[in-house]
Amino acid sequence: MAVRATIYEVARRSGVSTATVSRVMRNGTGFSDATRVRVLDAARELGWVPSGSARGLANRRAGIVGLLFPDFSGTGDAEQESPLYVDQVIRGAERAATSAGDAVLIAATRGSSGRELALSLAGKVDGLVVMARSLTQADVASIARSLPVVVVANRAGRGVDVDSVGVDNRGGVRAVVEHLVGEHGYEDMVFVSGPARSPDSMERFAGFRDALRAAGLPERKSPDASGAFTEAGGARGVQALLAGRRPPQAIICGNDEMAIGALGVLNAAKLKVPGDVAVTGFDDIAATRHIRPQLTTVRQPMRDLGEQAVRALLARVDDPDRERHDIVLATQLVVRRSCGCRPRASSVPNTQGRTAA
């Protein structure tokens, strides 16, 4: 382990040329059984592993994809946005990459250092998956000039022409609201949004508006409260909401964390859920099943997001000229107690996954 062995030493030790060693390692053909054994033995004895850098240089392909995600922990507030979402996407990306024989490099942008970080990654990878809110649109456009990029949960803006993978946020919220209206007859509903600049959050609110309109209920142009996608934020938002009006029949939250925060506030205010007020979330994190009442929410396939993103990326690395893909994954309504339904939970898919070119 002192100093890493090279192909030359393996070649010498096994009495063949480096070309033959290379052939054997690449599982190619063109060598006798005996040589293969000799080479492999020599490699093992020397503890040799082919240098990825040298391979990458020779192949013009590192066999590595990068994943850039935002990390808000420690951003002023002590409260943290749930990391669950990002972690699941990372897992999915890892799975897809590994199964394709590649590896995935991860890096979190904290605050404004995004651009720099992306550049430092760029040289080490064959392509980059960029999660929403980790890079500005301008930076994405800039980076995309140097290497293949796929954006996640953030349909690329007008200027930027890159592949994207996202979920049907809009349809998801529409489905909850339809359930609330159709099954429970609620008419007085409010929406608690996440960070103002989150594409996910904006789409979810759009779904809320769509559903209100479709139901013939009075529309509104902005969310009734907002909570930064955190439990504490959701609590504050709902608190403020309750201070200004009598309780609504239902509170539709932009994600589960905020819904959990809402539950706490309602409980403290002696309001029964779902008796007095119904509450719903979005994401379907594990806590939705542990909390009481169990949370009705919209499940989004976080893992699939990562998988599809990496697949799309690798496809483009292999074929830079293929047409642009914008993948939208289906979400699923998960009915539990907090909306007012009885225990026997059931779930129904509400949208089809679809791919648009």
Q: What does the binding site for its own copies look like in residue numbers (CB under 8 A)? A: 1-2, 4, 47-57, 60, 62-64, 66, 71, 83, 87, 90-91, 94-95, 98, 101, 103-108, 117, 119-125, 142, 144-148, 260, 286-287, 290-292, 320
Nearer to its own copies, 296 or 351 (CB): 296
Task: Select from its own copies, DNA, none the partner in contact with residue 1, using the beta carbon and a kind-dependent cut-off of 5 to 8 Å.
Answer: its own copies
27 interacts with DNA by CB under 7 A: no
The residue within the footprint of DNA, chosen from 1, 2, 30, 76 (CB under 7 A), is 30
Given the rule CB under 7 A, which of 10-18, 154-162, 165-173, 174-182 is the region that contacts DNA? 10-18
Rounded Cα distance, 193 and 233, in Å: 10
CB atoms within 10 A of CB 51: 14
**Should residue 23 be labelled a site residue for DNA when binding is judged by CB under 7 A?**
yes
DSSP 243-282: HHSSPPSEEEESSHHHHHHHHHHHHHTT--TTTT-EEE-S
Nearer to its own copies, 26 or 220 (CB): 26
159 near DNA (CB under 7 A) = no
Short-list 306, 235, 296, CA closest to 92: 306
Contact 295, 336 (CB under 8 A): yes
Contact by Cβ (8 Å): 217, 259: no
Q: Whole-number minimum distance, CB 320 to its own copies, in Å?
A: 7
Does 1 sit near DNA (CB under 7 A)?
A: no
- Told to check if 25 binds DNA by CB under 7 A, we report yes
State the number of binding residues for DNA (CB under 7 A). Answer: 32
> For residue 164, what are its two tokens?
């994207």
User: Is 13 a binder of DNA (CB under 7 A)?
Assistant: no
CB 278 within 8 A of CB 264: no
**Site map (CB under 7 A) of DNA, residues 39-78, x = contact:** ---------xxxx-xxx-xxxx------------------
Our CB check for DNA shows the closer of 66 and 248 to be: 66
22 residue type, one letter: S
18 binds DNA (CB under 7 A): yes
Q: Could you give the CA distance from residue 201 to residue 195 in angstroms, rounded to a whole number?
A: 7
Going by C-alpha positions, the residue among 233, 228, 238, 168 that lies closest to residue 203 is 168
- Partner residues linked to 211 by β-bridges: none
Closest contact distance (angstroms) between CB of 313 and DNA is 20
Minimum Å gap between C-beta 219 and its own copies is: 34
The DSSP string of 308-351 is HHHHHHHHHHH-TTSPP-EEEE--EEEE-STTS--SS-EEEE--
Beta-ladder partners of 296: 280
Q: Shortest approach of its own copies to residue 230 CB, angstroms?
A: 12
Residues forming the site for DNA (CB under 7 A): 4, 6-8, 15-23, 25-26, 29-32, 34-35, 48-51, 53-55, 57-60
